[in-house]
Structure 1
Amino acid sequence: MESRPGETTVPDPKPVVGAAELRASLKHLRTEVRGAVFVVKLLLCATITAGGVLLACQGTPWARIPGVVLIGCMFAHAAELQHETLHNLAFRSRRANTVAGTVLGMPMLISFAAYRTAHLRHHRYLGTPSNREFFDYGDQYGREGERSRAATALDWLTRFTMFHHYQLFLANLLRALRGREFSGETATVSRRIRRDHLLILLGGAALAGLSLLLGQAVIVWAWLLPLLLVAAPVHALIELPEHHRCETLNEDPFANTRTIRSNRLMMWFTNGNNFHVEHHVMPNLPIERLPDLHAEIRGRLRYFHTGYLDYFRKLLSG
């Protein structure tokens, strides 16, 4: 198999057994979902976010700038926690996953219902022309062939501003306000998507009201600036390695997905997203067990990096 410059691959990997057979051979890794673990994750995220808000609402740049950065990073982290709820892996209760996932997605304008539906389709259709992801970055997986510098710069600008995501949110918000159905979705899913968009609108209105009440631009410093300047590019950076420049028309998860073995801080911050091949091999495996799955299948990985710095260094030099 031919690899891209700088890409760490396993040469001529053995043929992968069928998905069902592979998962059956790894069933010993399955454990019960532990809601207490996710509660700790939520509390830690909320505590750091609160600290960021306190800093961002101070009157001096030395406090506001790190506050905005902290809040934005926690918005991106919350989106990774939300991913866990999409698969009902945060709590045993489906309702608890829905409530937690809905709240976690609000800062980044992410509808839980829309994301869940699109994400499960992504798992179903990855490796086929029908695959679509919830977050549209424009140049989703890396275009082949020569491109002008201007076109390449526009691709990266579109990705890191998450322009298409915000554009879609506004379009869907208008649809929700008009009580319209969402194309390709059932009436039930459409109703849930409308609910999520209206909740986000109410949350924004509440922050605007608080800003007026306090006579401070709380909505700007504690939400808009962290969202646009920090959360969007950070989230795009987290998701970029997942399938970018992999064999995305190959249904084998070892061919269409990338894993990055990182340090404990990044494993926490990305909520295990670095073990992305492992997640696609066993989507319903609790996040805490992904390192164990990694140990089992390490020898089969085709797209693998020893850390995020290693990945981005090779991406920029490749």
Structure 2
Amino acid sequence: MSDATVSEPGHRLKPLTPAMLRELSVRSDLKGAARSIGHYAVIVLVGALIWMVASRFGVLWALPLMAAQGYFVAFLFMAVHETAHKTAFSSRSLNLTVGYLSAFIIGLPYEYYCLFHWDHHRYTQDPDKDPELIVGAKPTSDTQLAVAYSGLLQVAGRLWLMLGHAVTGKVIVPWIPENKRATIVTEARVYVALYALLLALSLWFSSVLLLEVWIVPLVIGQFFLRPYLYAEHTGCDRTRSAFQNTRTTYTGAIVKWFAWNMPYHVEHHAYPSIPFHALPKLNAIVDGEIVYRGRGYVATTRETFAWFRRHRQSDQAN
């Protein structure tokens, strides 16, 4: 994999015809419901198994199930992402319902994320404007890089930011426009209040249920989610073209299903109006144009980790 470079002019793609774009952009309540209900059904099923195993044999015996649950819960991020684009369903109300619920479960305020993600699409790979490149400290050692790949720092950072919004009533991050800041503060306060209520109820009933089926799995799940997210753009070019600044990773059907087809990430960035269920068909059309291709997430994680190490060492040398 080559290092990120500034590439001008951008990659030129023969565009989809208007008819093709219209056909691929059709949204479906049925397909959105099937994916979201299926995803949540797996979480409920595995959560019930965790509760039964932990109650009968002890929590240690439930750890493998908790790790699996972590993957399924953390990847609700994909439901948040797709509903932020309002493409998961044709119904706006369904997009908002699934989006708000999924965002609450993963601790990522929905309205905040929508604005964050809007700027990510506008300024992909721009080191001064892409929020994904701005947020968080840059690792200065292999240990810090490994911690970054755990995803724990990123989760702690966004929870701390949410708490700051709730407590101070101030929003200063540049991707939140002035006219939206009151909404973000209100949203943060609602989230914090609901989390506090759930904590109080758990203490009142002396219950560790939410800890076992939700909180601990969500933490474990970051070890799966963060390498996946780094695969999307790390090492790609700094250009306006989605076919150069983004990576599509070719992986198995199960990963694609729980990731809502977002491994087809070049396709998504090139045509963000096209819903998740049409991305495989879009891939068949534009596959030959894709510059950065990941061959599975294990191999791609090795590549992105190596890329971060090279650039850190280069920066330290300078």
TM-score, shorter chain, exceeding 0.5: yes
What does 1:30-45 align with in structure 2 at a 5 Å threshold? 30-45=24-39
Q: Tell me how far apart the structure 2 counterparts of residues 303 and 235 of structure 1 sit (CA, whole Å).
A: 20
SS at match of 1:22: coil
Residue 208 (str. 1) matches residue 208 (str. 2)? no
* More divergent stretch after superposition (101-110 vs 59-68): 59-68
- Alignment partner of 1:261 out of 241, 247, 250: 250
- Alignment partner of 2:166 out of 176, 186, 208: 176
Matched residue, 1:244: 234
**How far did 1:16 drift?**
3.6
Deviations 1:228-259 (A, max 9, x none): 2x122221022111001111x22221111111
Q: Tell me how far apart the structure 2 counterparts of residues 307 and 50 of structure 1 sit (CA, whole Å).
A: 28
Matched residue, 1:273: 262
TM-score (norm 1): 0.81
Alpha carbons 1:38, 1:91 under 8 Å: kept:
yes
Deviations 1:57-114 (A, max 9, x none): 3232365213322331122221111110010001223343223211101122101111
Matched residue, 1:128: 126
**How far did 1:134 drift?**
4.9
Task: Give the letter for the 2:159 counterpart.
Answer: F
Alpha carbons 2:165, 2:188 under 8 Å: kept:
no
**How far did 1:279 drift?**
0.5
What does 1:77-226 align with in structure 2 at a 5 Å threshold? 77-134=75-132, 136=135, 138-139=137-138, 151-184=141-174, 185-186=176-177, 188-226=179-217
Task: Give the letter for the 1:22 counterpart.
Answer: P
Structure 1's 67 and 199: CA in aligned 2 closer, same or farther, altered over 3 A?
farther
Residue 17 (str. 1) matches residue 12 (str. 2)? yes
TM-score (norm 2): 0.81
* More divergent stretch after superposition (71-80 vs 190-199): 190-199
Structure 1's 219 and 205: CA in aligned 2 closer, same or farther, altered over 3 A?
farther
Deviations 1:202-238 (A, max 9, x none): 332333233234322223223331122x122221022
* Residue segments in structure 1 that go unaligned for 5+ positions in a row: 6-14, 144-149
Alpha carbons 2:74, 2:222 under 8 Å: kept:
yes
Structure 1's 174 and 28: CA in aligned 2 closer, same or farther, altered over 3 A?
closer
Alpha carbons 1:56, 1:221 under 8 Å: kept:
yes
Task: Give the letter for the 2:113 counterpart.
Answer: Y
Deviations 1:35-70 (A, max 9, x none): 121222222222222223223332323652133223
Structure 1's 29 and 260: CA in aligned 2 closer, same or farther, altered over 3 A?
farther
Q: Tell me how far apart the structure 2 counterparts of residues 129 and 121 of structure 1 sit (CA, whole Å).
A: 12
* Residue segments in structure 2 that go unaligned for 5+ positions in a row: 4-9, 308-318
Q: Tell me how far apart the structure 2 counterparts of residues 218 and 205 of structure 1 sit (CA, whole Å).
A: 16
Matched residue, 2:71: 73
Q: Tell me how far apart the structure 2 counterparts of residues 243 and 254 of structure 1 sit (CA, whole Å).
A: 11
Q: Percent identity?
A: 20
Task: Give the letter for the 1:274 counterpart.
Answer: P
> How many residues align structurally?
295
Q: Tell me how far apart the structure 2 counterparts of residues 307 and 297 of structure 1 sit (CA, whole Å).
A: 19
SS at match of 1:260: strand
SS at match of 2:76: helix
**How far did 1:162 drift?**
3.1
Q: Tell me how far apart the structure 2 counterparts of residues 197 and 67 of structure 1 sit (CA, whole Å).
A: 31
Structure 1's 81 and 166: CA in aligned 2 closer, same or farther, altered over 3 A?
same
Q: Tell me how far apart the structure 1 counterparts of residues 262 and 87 of structure 2 sit (CA, whole Å).
A: 14
Residue 49 (str. 1) matches residue 43 (str. 2)? yes
